[in-house]
């Protein structure tokens, strides 16, 4: 049976967020001073509305590896969250065909009072895996973490590094058609980072579409074939990675 086509289509996407309890003039001055972030679009009764993304349109198909570049607060993470389904558009449309794996917050759904094994099941369900799929992956995930008998212990007994290894192992156990990443993930000690890097590469290679937000231009050049620059919630057209230097010169 032929797999359905993988694609992302975004048409005139606009996202707005209300900000309460602030002075509108102060907020406007702050946005102007840092020259990043959204645009102040309205203010009344002690509240303001910031347009985080404005009129964004793009189309990606299987094989596309899109690098998102731009200053902190330019809208990259907001776009990734919108593509993952976390944010509903205020205007416009988002259509994603294919299974999505958003590697945006590895700690999402992690319960400190539950054991490592219980957290694998919990995080797996959040990632969209069925109980059968989780059962099939349990041994592999557990082995990859290297945590051994600690998997039967509550997560609150783990060190930060151990917890990060568990979260990474579960998050990267999903075979995705569309992979969303907010920076390249590096967790654990040097030895674990090496095998984590290979696992992440394998996940990227199997994905139909990659959308990677990063400040590391070498990383963008290495893994992406397309690029889009964001500033103040406004996006450039999606273009070839060959145009990266030209986009950087416009910053």
Transcribe 42-105 into DSSP letters.
EEETTEEEEEEEEEEEEEEETT-EEEEE--TTSSHHHHHHHHHTSS--SEEEEEEES-EEEES-
Task: State the average pLDDT over residues 131-139.
Answer: 93
Question: What is the third-level CATH fold of 104-209?
Answer: Rossmann fold (3.40.50)
Give the tokens for residue 133.
């799929």
Give the residue from 104, 111, 100 showing the smallest Cα distance to 209: 100
205 or 108, which is more confident: 205
Annotated domain spans of the chain: 7-99+212-249, 104-209
Residue 133, pLDDT > 50, answer yes
| First and final C-alpha spacing in the chain | 46
Confidence at residue 32, expressed as pLDDT on a 0 to 100 scale: 46
Band of the pLDDT at 34, cuts 50, 70, 90? very low
Q: How far is CA 118 from the centre of its chain?
A: 24
Helix (H) or strand (E) run with residue 219 in it: helix 217-223
Q: Do domains 7-99+212-249 and 104-209 have the same CATH topology?
A: yes
Look at residue 188 in the predicted model and tell me its pLDDT: 80
Predicted confidence (pLDDT) at residue 102 exceeds the cutoff of 50: yes
The predicted model gives 228-237 an average pLDDT of 94
**CB-facing half-sphere around the CA of 69: CA atoms within 13 A:** 28
Q: What angle do CA 204, 207, 210 make, to 5 degrees?
A: 70
Is pLDDT above 60 for 100?
Answer: yes
Show Cβ contacts of residue 172 under 8 Å, excluding neighbours closer than 6 positions: 103, 196, 199, 200, 203
pLDDT in the model for residue 33? 43
**Lowest-confidence pick of 30-44, 72-86, 93-107, 132-146:** 30-44
Is residue 28 pLDDT above 60, yes or no? Answer: no
pLDDT at 1: 47
Q: Mean pLDDT throughout 188-216?
A: 91
Confidence at 14, pLDDT banded by 50, 70, 90 = very high
Give the per-residue pLDDT at 181: 94
CA–CA distance, 20 with 5 (Å, rounded to integer): 42
The predicted pLDDT at position 113 comes to 95
pLDDT band at 23 (very low <50, low <70, confident <90, very high): low
Say yes or no to pLDDT of 225 above 60. Answer: yes
Mean pLDDT for the stretch of residues 33-46? 50
Mean pLDDT of the chain: 87
Instruction: Name the more confident of 136 and 44.
Output: 136
User: Which of the pair, 48 or 84, is modelled with greater confidence?
Assistant: 84
Tokens 């992440």 -> residue: 200
The CATH class of the 7-99+212-249 domain is alpha beta
The reported pLDDT for the residue numbered 237 is 95
């Amino acid at each position: 049976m032929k797999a359905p086509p993988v694609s992302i289509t975004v048409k005139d996407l606009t996202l707005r967020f209300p900000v309460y309890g602030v002075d509108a003039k102060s907020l406007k001055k702050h946005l102007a001073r840092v020259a990043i972030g959204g645009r102040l679009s309205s203010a009344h009764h002690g509240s303001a509305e910031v347009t985080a993304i404005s009129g964004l349109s793009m189309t990606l198909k299987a094989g596309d590896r899109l690098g998102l570049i731009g200053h902190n607060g330019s809208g990259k993470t907001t776009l990734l969250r919108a593509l993952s389904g976390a944010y509903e558009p205020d205007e416009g449309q988002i259509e994603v065909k294919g299974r999505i794996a958003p590697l945006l917050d590895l700690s999402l759904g992690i319960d400190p009072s539950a054991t490592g094994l219980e957290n694998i099941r919990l995080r797996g369900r959040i990632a969209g895996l069925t109980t059968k799929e989780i059962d099939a992956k349990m041994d592999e995930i557990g082995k990859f973490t290297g945590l051994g008998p600690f998997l039967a212990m509550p997560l609150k007994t783990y060190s930060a590094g151990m917890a990060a290894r568990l979260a990474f192992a579960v998050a990267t156990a999903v075979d995705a058609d569309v992979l969303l990443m907010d920076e390249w993930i590096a967790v654990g000690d040097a030895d674990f980072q090496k095998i984590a890097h290979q696992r992440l590469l394998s996940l990227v290679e199997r994905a139909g579409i990659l959308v990677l937000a990063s400040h590391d231009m070498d990383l963008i050049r290495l893994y992406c074939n397309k690029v889009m620059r964001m500033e103040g919630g406004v996006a450039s057209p999606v273009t070839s990675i060959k145009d990266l230097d030209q986009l950087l010169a416009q910053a």
